[in-house]
Amino acid sequence: MTQIHRTATSPIARLQQFFHAEESPYGLALVRIFLPFAAMIPMVQRFFVVRELFSTDGTSQSLFEFYGWDNPLPVMVPQLAAACYGLMIFAMACAIVGWQTRLSFCVGVPLYIYFNLLDTVGTMTKYSVIASHLLVLLALSRSGTVWSVDALLRQRRQGKAVTAVPPRVPVWPVRLMQVLFCFVYFGAAITKIQTEAFFSGEQMRYWMLSNWNYENPVGESMAMWTPLLLVSAYITIVWEMVFGFLVWRPGARLIVLAIGAAFHFMTWLALGLYIFPAICISGYLSFVNEHDVVRLRRVAHRLHLPTRWPGLPFRGIAQLLTRRPASLPLAATWIAAGLLTAVAAAEFEYRLDVYGLRTGKGPLPLRPMEQEAAIAMISDNTPLREKDKYFSFDIGTQLVGGQLADRRREYDYGDVIIAQCNLNPPHEDLWVEVLLQDDQQRTIEQSGLIVTRDQLYANFAYQTGNALLPGRYSMLLRSSGKDISRRTFTLRGDPASLPEMGELLTN
């Protein structure tokens, strides 16, 4: 049998080098510091409702039950749920500072995933799924070998001379994090390509104008800039498609990551997303390598920036741990502190007494709902008002991607006036009319068309003729015989500037 010798330039060898090369884990350390911090923000806020969301006293809705399966996860009694929840927060905090990093992740990550799976309605979201994958990879990595309490304690034991050179570890956890983002973005692009409303800007507009997440006043201001929405939609698609191909190129890496960071920053400003962009930008730190850190250090020294301040909390914790009894191992210290935190969390939740069980008056009674509100929720047969089927109505002269790109109130002879109505989904098939009226609301011309249930907008185009006199006019949107909205405009100029036309307007 002839043996095939693979050279260093063969695809298999390059693939092995890609996953099994060794470098200093600075990128992993940055992800370890920032990712658990971002993931814990909503989890800490939910500590006060542990009893309702994650215990037998509440109404947990696990992912398995959401799909109609039996829940294989045990639902704990309130005291145990609070204790485990406090232990999770403690373990993640220890992972951030890098004290017993591997042990902290091995305890905190399963609890984080467990509590997310136990509350599909509110706790499990898209960002928590991404965070769970990244945290699992952090648990399998050696992210605590630099910029951590563990590294400082090892330095104290072995001396600065031995630990002067940063350790080098296999890069496969970093590569898996990077590949994860490539697949996430590529899958998001494939989903958006099949969504027509995304390319027309309507989907983004509805999101910007809503407060489904948090308040987003910047998004509300940007929502009516149709050209910006359309351009942003196409840029997003192209960027998500090429991310996985360009992020590995040395010349394009920083550009692609900068666009991604700006994209997620804009989701915070325009859509009211807070935790999701924080999770994604924290994951971007996995693309930081040792050469980037060397460049940043040179810049910091050139600008005389204080580089020791970020490490003060780590050095303070390390100094505190060195004062423990020599006979007490670090792992035992961590376990004792974790158990103490769990007991304190259970006691704190007990004293919260969210149901009023220890007030001496029995549990708090349920407040009865108003009868009218209950009837409306159970069987509300109130028909939808015709005007509520429409989102907006405006006039302009230019369309971009089917959407009105400008909104004008003054027109010259020869301009094409485009009247556009946007509808709120879902809606039935509609007969929609647009009437041209003078300043006394006398109808000069009208036209109509059928807007089917799958359409979200309709356009009406009018060519101004020279038979109209200069003055004020209006476009009236009418649906099912009911007036919905009116937009006034001014026609200016000289009618004689156009050749004589046989009709006033042509639709």
pLDDT digits over 203-238, tens only?
A: 888 888 877 777 777 887 787 777 788 888 889 999
Quick check: 139 pLDDT over 90? yes
How would residue 345 be classed by pLDDT, with cut points 50, 70 and 90? very high
- The reported pLDDT for the residue numbered 163 is 62
Maximum mean pLDDT: which of 140-144, 157-161, 424-428, 496-500: 140-144
Contact 251, 102 (CB under 8 A): no
pLDDT digits over 263-310, tens only?
A: 999 888 888 889 999 999 999 999 998 888 888 888 888 888 877 787
Quick check: 135 pLDDT over 60? yes
Quick check: 5 pLDDT over 50? no
Please give the average per-residue pLDDT across 122-143, as a whole number.
94
The SS3 of residue 157 is: helix
Please give the average per-residue pLDDT across 365-375, as a whole number.
82
**Rounded CA gap, 220 and 229, in Å?**
12
**Rounded CA gap, 67 and 410, in Å?**
56
pLDDT digits over 7-42, tens only?
A: 456 888 888 888 888 989 999 999 999 999 999 999
Quick check: 244 pLDDT over 60? yes
- The reported pLDDT for the residue numbered 3 is 43
- Average pLDDT score, the chain: 87
**Rounded CA gap, 397 and 416, in Å?**
6
- Measure Cα distances from 28 to 173, 257, 289, 455 in Å: 8, 17, 9, 47
Report the interhelical angle of 126-140 vs 275-284 (nearest 10°). 30
Identify the DSSP state of 61. B
Token code pair at residue 449: 């068309």
Helix and strand numbers (H, E) in the chain are: 20, 12
Which DSSP string do the residues of 472-501 spell out, in sequence order? EEEEEEEETTEEEEEEEEEEES-GGGS---
Token code pair at residue 3: 């043996």
**Rounded CA gap, 449 and 409, in Å?**
24
Token code pair at residue 6: 């693979």
- The reported pLDDT for the residue numbered 380 is 65
Token code pair at residue 423: 């509808």
Please give the average per-residue pLDDT across 186-211, as a whole number.
83
- The reported pLDDT for the residue numbered 162 is 59
Quick check: 107 pLDDT over 70? yes
**Rounded CA gap, 232 and 262, in Å?**
12
Q: What is the pTM of this model?
A: 0.84
Q: Nearest 5°: phi and psi at 126?
A: -65, -40
- The reported pLDDT for the residue numbered 306 is 77
**Rounded CA gap, 256 and 241, in Å?**
11
How would you classify residue 249: left for phi > 0, otherwise alpha for psi between -120 and 50, otherwise beta?
A: beta
- The reported pLDDT for the residue numbered 173 is 94
The SS3 of residue 364 is: coil
Quick check: 6 pLDDT over 50? no
How would residue 81 be classed by pLDDT, with cut points 50, 70 and 90? very high
Among 2.60.40.1930, 3.40.50.2300, 3.90.1010.10, 3.40.50.620, what is the CATH number of 386-497? Answer: 2.60.40.1930
Q: Which tops the pLDDT comparison, 73 or 425?
A: 73
Q: Nearest 5°: phi and psi at 445?
A: -155, 150
**Rounded CA gap, 340 and 345, in Å?**
9
Contact 101, 148 (CB under 8 A): yes
| Residues paired with 22 in a beta bridge | 170
- The reported pLDDT for the residue numbered 506 is 44
CATH 2.60.40.1930-classified regions of the chain: 386-497
Q: Exposed/middle/buried for 332, CB within 10 Å: 0-12, 13-18, 19+?
A: exposed
- Residue identified by tokens 């407060």 is 211
Q: Which of 155-159, 182-186, 278-282, 473-477 has the lowest mean pLDDT?
A: 155-159
- Stretch (H or E) spanning 404: strand 403-404
Q: For residue 312, which amino acid is it?
A: L
**Rounded CA gap, 118 and 123, in Å?**
8
The SS3 of residue 289 is: coil
**Rounded CA gap, 98 and 150, in Å?**
6
How would residue 182 be classed by pLDDT, with cut points 50, 70 and 90? very high
How would residue 2 be classed by pLDDT, with cut points 50, 70 and 90? very low
Q: Which of 27-36, 127-136, 277-286, 491-500 has the lowest mean pLDDT?
A: 491-500
Q: Exposed/middle/buried for 115, CB within 10 Å: 0-12, 13-18, 19+?
A: buried
Exposure string for 337-361, b = 16+ CB within 10 A, e = fewer:
ebeebbeebbeebeeeeeeeeeeee
For residue 25, give the nearest of 123, 104, 98, 107 by alpha carbon: 98
Quick check: 458 pLDDT over 80? yes
Separation of CA 459 from chain center: 33
Q: For residue 61, which amino acid is it?
A: Q
